[in-house]
Amino acid sequence: MKKRIIVSCLLSVLLMACEKQVQKYDDTQVFRYNEKDNITSLDPAFAKNEPNVWACNQLFNGLVVFDDSLNVLPCIAKSWKIENQNKTYQFTLRDDVFFHKNAVFGKDSTRQVTAHDFEYSFRRLMDPKVASSGRWVMQSVKEFKAVNDSVFSIELHQPFPPFLGLLSMQYCSVVPKEAVDFYGADFRSHPIGTGPFSFKMWVENTKLVFRRNPLYFEKDTKGNQLPYLEAVAITFFADKQTEFMHFIQGKSDVLNDLHTSYKDELLSSNGALLPKYHQKIQLDKSPYLITEYIAFYLEGATVENHPDIRKAVQLGFDRAKMLRYLRNNIGQPATGFIPKGLPAYYGDTIDNYQPEKAKQHVENYKKETGDLHPKITISTNSSYTDLFEFVQRELQGIGLQVVLEVLPSPVLRQKKANGKLPSFRVGWIADYPDAENFLSLFYSKNMAPQGPNYAHYSNKDYDKLYEKAMATTNPEKRVEIYKKMDRIILEDVPVVPLFYDEIIRFKHQNVKGLTTNPTNLLNLKKVYKTPKK
């Protein structure tokens, strides 16, 4: 009992310290947001999910970065050249980038970033002892080295056109060896980077505070040093109603999600912000590079594996109706597998709702197999139950019975990776904005559990096109190859695309400079707040 009281007192002291760090500034100098899912690490080597990525993006930088239009821009690398038949990348670094101030750097408390820091950071990313979740990013890399302090060179095994985009990921951020050596495994909670904000304090699952980095190297178009904000404060309310109320009460600046428990409080049935909030809140919507889909496991003689059944599912339910009634028109009905927002998307011309044709596929299956009451099982998690109950009702109308299996998310992930489910729901979010990121899911050499080909799909023509695309450096020609690959997936139906998601972000009217992008990356370096009216 005494031990519990001591721990509780220590937690209270830490929370008070956190609040003092934030309260010393007025409200317009602090950006507040809630992270309903836990942040597990502030080490960019473990930036494997959105909560970790968002936090690390405030603390760290890499060689390059994407803008909101998905163009690759310089970051710590001020320029680069690509040589040796598109296999060698040579980056020239800026000379004004310094690590966050910390005692690990000795009397000067900081030092300049050099190419040797990137060599160390990349070797650390590949180190099996570190066991980074981002080690896969380097699988196309043959070698890399610091040519000198200001030049960093990377050589690939073979050309890989999306490679520059990969380098924009937080996994590829630069970290200082001194700090990693000093903190060891605790670097996850004592991060030192070069980003617009530096780490101040973290009470896990309770509060996280970042402070403005006065050494940050980027400036705005008028020459003003970034960032504008003095601090970032993150809370961790897991309850969605609590998160919603904090936002409505003005205790957080943004609401980054739309949950069924409060969607009708904010949005009309067609997805517009309700008039009563027009003076207080702004709604931002933009395409999100994510495809939600049903995958079929294509090994074994199951009902789900029959081509006519897969095609019946593909054509047998109204995606637009599903989104209208269950998601307030948030998202877009999926046609191809490549989502809207990427150049290779072409799905506006495709009709994936043809119920009469779907019924004919079911009849074809019955005649061929003698199974007069076909039944399939689709596995999902509880967050998608309402959507799949809709799909279930729609497919019953074409003569196909559907059993829904609702599993905990960890169980669903494990079983789909190990081929234990005949059909299941998957959501694929782009790690980098290139259609290859989606089409690699069907390359035969990427079969699960070693890769993301959960369907165990194999098609020689598709594989040849994939390899051809990877050898094609001309973006326009590569896009045409991607479109052919997407059409093959539509014809073979190893998966049934459901919808392309949209980014939904609610923010208070006094929040300025907060933009959206198709990867849903949170960028705070140009954000500022005006006094509330």
**pLDDT, tens digit, 9 for 90 and up, residues 79-115:** 999 999 889 999 999 999 999 999 999 988 999 999 9
pLDDT in tens, 453-483: 999 999 999 999 999 999 888 889 999 999 9
CA–CA separation, 198 and 191 (whole Å):
8
38 pLDDT tier (thresholds 50, 70, 90): confident
Contact 350, 332 (CB under 8 A): no
CA–CA separation, 517 and 345 (whole Å):
17
What pLDDT score does 22 carry?
A: 56
What three-state secondary structure class fits 10?
helix
Contact 509, 41 (CB under 8 A): no
* Average of per-residue pLDDT across 234-255: 94
User: Half-sphere exposure (CA, 13 Å, Cβ side) for 109?
Assistant: 4
CA–CA distances in Å: residue 446 to residues 64, 426, 437, 438: 27, 16, 12, 12
pTM of the model: 0.84
Q: What is the DSSP letter of 21?
A: H
Does 28 score more than 60 pLDDT? yes
521 pLDDT tier (thresholds 50, 70, 90): very high
CA–CA distances in Å: residue 89 to residues 81, 113, 139, 148, 352: 6, 19, 15, 15, 42
What pLDDT score does 8 carry?
A: 47
Percentage of the chain with pLDDT > 70? 95
For the residues of 47-78, what is the DSSP string, one character each? --SHHHHHHHHHH---SEEE-TT--EEESSEE
The answer for residues whose C-beta is within 8 angstroms of residue 196's C-beta and 6 or more apart is 58, 212, 213, 216, 218, 226, 227, 524, 525
Query: Mean pLDDT across the chain, nearest whole number?
Result: 92
Q: Report residue 323 CA to chain centroid gap.
A: 21
What pLDDT score does 431 carry?
A: 82
What pLDDT score does 217 carry?
A: 98
* Average of per-residue pLDDT across 492-499: 97
Q: At 361, list the tokens.
A: 């596929």
CA–CA separation, 190 and 199 (whole Å):
7
Does 302 score more than 70 pLDDT? yes
* Average of per-residue pLDDT across 338-350: 86
Contact 485, 493 (CB under 8 A): no
Does 257 score more than 90 pLDDT? no
Percentage of the chain with pLDDT > 90? 77
What's the full length of the chain, in residues?
A: 533
CA–CA separation, 13 and 203 (whole Å):
11
3 pLDDT tier (thresholds 50, 70, 90): very low
Does 490 score more than 70 pLDDT? yes
Does 18 score more than 80 pLDDT? no
At residue 517, what is the residue type?
A: N
CA–CA separation, 483 and 443 (whole Å):
15
Contact 75, 63 (CB under 8 A): yes
Task: Tell me how far apart the terminal alpha carbons of the chain are, to the nearest angstrom.
Answer: 48
2 pLDDT tier (thresholds 50, 70, 90): very low
Positions of E strands within 45-196: 64-66, 72-74, 77-83, 88-93, 141-148, 151-156
Tell whether omega for the bond before 307 is within 30 degrees of 0, i.e. cis.
Answer: no
Does 440 score more than 80 pLDDT? yes
Q: Report residue 44 CA to chain centroid gap.
A: 14
Please state the φ and ψ torsions of residue 140, each to the nearest 5 degrees.
-90, 0
Contact 170, 432 (CB under 8 A): no
Q: Report residue 370 CA to chain centroid gap.
A: 44
What pLDDT score does 21 carry?
A: 53
Which residue has better confidence, 161 or 365? Answer: 365
CA–CA distances in Å: residue 450 to residues 71, 330, 476, 526: 30, 33, 31, 40
Contact 318, 353 (CB under 8 A): yes
* Average of per-residue pLDDT across 57-81: 95
At residue 311, what is the residue type?
A: K
Does 232 score more than 80 pLDDT? yes
What pLDDT score does 1 carry?
A: 47
* Average of per-residue pLDDT across 18-31: 72
* Buried-state track 408-441, b at ≥16 Cβ within 10 A, e below 16: eeeebeebbeebebbbbbbebbbbbbbbbbbbbb
Q: At 201, list the tokens.
A: 């304090």
Provide the sign of the torsion angle of the four alpha carbons 221, 227, 230, 232, taken in this order. Answer: positive
Which residue has better confidence, 435 or 433? Answer: 435
Q: Could you give the maximum distance between any two Cα atoms of the chain, in Å?
A: 82
